[in-house]
Structure 1
Amino acid sequence: MSINHDWRHDLVAEMEQGITDVNKYTWLDLAQEILWMRREISELRNALVQTAIDCATMDNSEGKLAARVAQSAEEQLFRILLERGDHDE
């Protein structure tokens, strides 16, 4: 699914100003975009988990630091997903 963020940004700005009919942006469009973003965030979180695991096995301070950074980012993404009802993780 390809999302034209510039068009959507302009559309929202027009809606806020009352220039454009709100019905141009349907609830289905919104739901699809939200689901797409949640999938992307979940995939990024999974990649960060693997990065943290890979870096933690390194025998140097850079690897350990990279592992902590990846783990911190992963935890933040998990918190974001969890706060919005993603309880099946």
Structure 2
Amino acid sequence: MDNVIKKYKTSLSERGRDTDDIKRDNAVIRVYDGGKYIQFAFYNDGSLNYSSYDYYDKMEHMTATGEYDRLGLYKKTPDYEEVKDKQTKTKE
């Protein structure tokens, strides 16, 4: 997860975007299919923008919001989830 966040932060920096809030303790992270897919969103000014969720497939960015989620991950229960660097659930 840390590598995916680092890659995302680097891509934002390269485009001149602010990356101060891009850190694990400021995110909601969900893991699917045994770690193959990672979804995350970051808090900005105390609120979470769910539309900003990104999915990474083997470390490659894949836009995935609503009907554009080609894998249907938004309908699945994640294998693992954490909020602000604290585990909140794991799939049973």
Q: Per the shorter chain, which TM-score range?
A: under 0.3
TM-score by length of 1: 0.24
The higher relative CO (CA closer than 8 Å, separation ≥ 6) is in 2
- The structure that has the greater radius of gyration is 1
